[in-house]
């Protein structure tokens, strides 16, 4: 009796859409705090450094560290659908708790609880998306999933800014926490785990099955023997510092430098950053799937190119004269927002294509753990230190430069992208050699 080959079905698309929606709300719940930094700071009398701790390290330490054992559980056979559902429900409830905090330290604890829940969302989702589609469609599938950060930021900034200005910052957290509970229930009751490595060859599945029996230390050692993976982790860490530092503090930069109302700053930054990042994510996935047919090195070269193009655009956004505007209907829009949109478009390339690259570099029994380590570098270093370093530099520069302290703090952080591009460049050849080695093992 022959076994039916795996197929991409409507259920595959529905599951992908739902996982993407979970990821959208994970980014809403972790990033909505960016638009309410100023009112929280004023209510609790906190410094930029303390707000950097709240928005960065308080979240990143637990998120990054817990992601490793949870990723190991996924690779060992844990039900990915159930894990994602439970974790989504937890972080959504914790988000609502943020809106009920009556002191800075209560808010800090609620924020850390959000991190505990979100630690179990990314790795199983990446692993699950990798098994919904064959390799030649995986970059596009991953780009759809990776719309989460962009759509999350768009919604958090635009809608979050309006809610915060109209109803207060506490209502913003409660409003965004409720849908996550409903999404978690939908994922639990209406989807199923597609199975591990269903689109892999028989030899790949055999090797993956053997790999599941090895100790965690041996599995981790084998993952970090992959040189391209190590270089990508370091690259992601530095790009994460820039991405999170810029993303968390840019709305506050608009409030301080352009004296915008909260809702206007959220709307402009949300549209420029979120909408154009969505377009960039879809475009890079589509482009990469076509380029790697000719040369697999584009999987790494393309995000490197995006990083290099985004750097001057980010600096132009921060340094462009505030008096330079253009009219859109009845509204005056700063010219700098055009550079913000360009920065978002090209910066969106690296996360999408990096996670797709990791899915190619590792076997089906290593992908969740590999994604967890990428997350560890991106969050513990990037999300943890990015907002904190930016806030600390802002306090330092403000002492000598006054109101422009935050502007120059963000310019300083952006310059790390040069080192990141170097890491990606160094990873190109090892990435190609790794793919050749995997193909040789399967043959």
- According to DSSP, residue 3 is labeled P
pLDDT value of residue 5: 56
Residue 25 CA to its chain's centroid (Å) = 12
For the chain, the straight-line distance linking the first and the last C-alpha, in angstroms and rounded, comes to 26
Rounded to whole angstroms, the Cα distance separating 125 from 17 reads 11
pLDDT value of residue 3: 46
What is the CB neighbour count within 10 angstroms for residue 15? Answer: 22
Find out whether 372 and 123 touch, Cβ atoms under 8 Å: yes
List beta partners, residue 327: 332
From the list 325, 292, 270, 303, the residue with the least C-alpha distance to 152 is: 270
Rounded to whole angstroms, the Cα distance separating 213 from 252 reads 49
What is the CB neighbour count within 10 angstroms for residue 190? Answer: 12
Please list the alpha-helical segments (H only) found in 258-333. Answer: 262-269, 276-294, 298-319
Find out whether 118 and 69 touch, Cβ atoms under 8 Å: no
pLDDT value of residue 110: 92
Find out whether 360 and 368 touch, Cβ atoms under 8 Å: no
From the list 320, 314, 318, 236, the residue with the least C-alpha distance to 276 is: 314
Task: State whether residue 334 is helix, strand or coil.
Answer: strand
- H, E, C per residue of 402-442: HHHHHHHHHHHHHCCHHHHHHHHHHHHHHHHHHHHHHHHHH
Residues in the chain predicted with pLDDT less than 70, given as ranges, are 1-6, 196-214, 364-365, 441-443
Contacts by residues 401-405 (CB-CB < 8 Å, ≥ 24 positions apart): 403/256, 403/257, 404/257
Find out whether 262 and 35 touch, Cβ atoms under 8 Å: yes
Sign of CA dihedral 252, 235, 145, 383: negative
Residues 6+ apart with CB under 8 A from 143: 281, 282, 284, 285, 286, 288, 352, 356
Find out whether 318 and 335 touch, Cβ atoms under 8 Å: no
Fold of 10-442: Growth Hormone; Chain: A; (1.20.1250)
Burial label for 7, CB within 10 Å (0-12, 13-18, 19+), is exposed
Task: State whether residue 255 is helix, strand or coil.
Answer: helix
pLDDT value of residue 93: 95
Rounded to whole angstroms, the Cα distance separating 246 from 409 reads 10
Rounded to whole angstroms, the Cα distance separating 267 from 159 reads 8
Q: Record the pTM.
A: 0.75
pLDDT value of residue 297: 93
pLDDT value of residue 214: 66
* Tens of pLDDT, residues 385-425: 888 899 899 999 988 887 789 999 999 999 999 999 999 99
Helices (H) and strands (E) counted in the chain, each on its own, are 22, 2
From the list 100, 97, 129, 130, the residue with the least C-alpha distance to 116 is: 97
pLDDT value of residue 202: 61
Rounded to whole angstroms, the Cα distance separating 76 from 45 reads 46
Rounded to whole angstroms, the Cα distance separating 396 from 405 reads 7
Find out whether 380 and 238 touch, Cβ atoms under 8 Å: no
- Cα separations in angstroms, 32 against 27, 63, 87, 101, 158: 8, 17, 18, 15, 10
pLDDT value of residue 382: 87
Rounded to whole angstroms, the Cα distance separating 199 from 19 reads 19
Residues 6+ apart with CB under 8 A from 59: 30, 111, 112, 114, 115, 379, 383, 384
Find out whether 365 and 209 touch, Cβ atoms under 8 Å: yes
User: What are the backbone dihedrals phi and psi of residue 335, each rounded to the nearest 5 degrees, phi first?
Assistant: -60, -30
pLDDT value of residue 259: 86
């Amino acid at each position: 009796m022959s076994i039916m080959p795996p197929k991409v079905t409507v259920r595959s698309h529905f599951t992908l859409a739902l996982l993407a929606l979970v990821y959208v709300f994970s980014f809403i719940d972790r990033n909505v705090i960016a638009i309410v930094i100023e009112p929280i700071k004023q209510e609790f009398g906190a410094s930029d450094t303390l707000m950097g701790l709240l928005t960065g390290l308080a979240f990143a330490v637990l998120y990054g560290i817990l992601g490793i054992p949870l990723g190991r559980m996924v690779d060992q056979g844990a039900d990915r659908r159930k894990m994602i559902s439970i974790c989504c429900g937890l972080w959504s409830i914790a988000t609502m708790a943020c809106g009920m905090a009556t002191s800075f330290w209560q808010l800090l604890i609620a924020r850390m609880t959000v991190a505990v829940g979100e630690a179990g969302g990314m790795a199983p989702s990446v692993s699950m998306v990798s098994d919904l589609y064959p390799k030649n469609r995986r970059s596009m599938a991953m780009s759809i999933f990776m719309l989460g950060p962009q759509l999350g930021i768009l919604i958090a900034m635009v809608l979050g800014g309006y809610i915060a200005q109209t109803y207060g910052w506490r209502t913003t957290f409660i409003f965004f926490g409720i849908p996550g509970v409903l999404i978690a229930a939908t994922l639990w009751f209406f989807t199923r785990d597609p199975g591990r490595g269903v689109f892999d060859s028989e030899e790949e599945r055999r090797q993956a099955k053997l790999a599941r029996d090895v100790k965690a230390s041996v599995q981790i050692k084998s993952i970090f023997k992959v040189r391209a993976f190590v270089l990508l982790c370091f690259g992601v860490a530095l790009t994460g510092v820039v991405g999170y530092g810029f993303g968390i503090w840019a709305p506050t930069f608009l409030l301080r430098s352009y004296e915008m109302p909260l809702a206007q700053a959220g709307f402009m930054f949300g549209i420029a950053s979120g909408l154009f990042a969505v377009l960039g994510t879809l475009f890079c996935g589509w482009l990469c799937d076509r380029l790697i047919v000719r040369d697999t090195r584009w999987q790494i070269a393309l995000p490197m190119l995006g990083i290099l193009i985004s750097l001057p655009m980010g600096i132009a956004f921060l340094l462009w004269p505030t008096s330079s505007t253009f009219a859109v209907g009845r509204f005056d829009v700063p010219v700098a927002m055009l550079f913000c949109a360009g920065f978002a478009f090209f910066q969106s390339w690296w996360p999408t294509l990096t996670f797709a690259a990791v899915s190619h570099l590792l076997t089906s029994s290593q992908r969740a753990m590999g994604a967890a380590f990428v997350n560890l570098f991106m969050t513990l270093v990037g999300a943890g230190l990015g907002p904190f370093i930016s806030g600390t530099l802002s306090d330092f520069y403000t002492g000598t430069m006054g109101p422009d302290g935050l502007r120059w703090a963000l310019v300083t952080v952006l310059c790390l992208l040069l080192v990141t591009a170097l890491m990606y460049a160094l990873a190109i050849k090892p990435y190609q050699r790794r793919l050749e080695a995997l193909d040789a093992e399967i043959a």
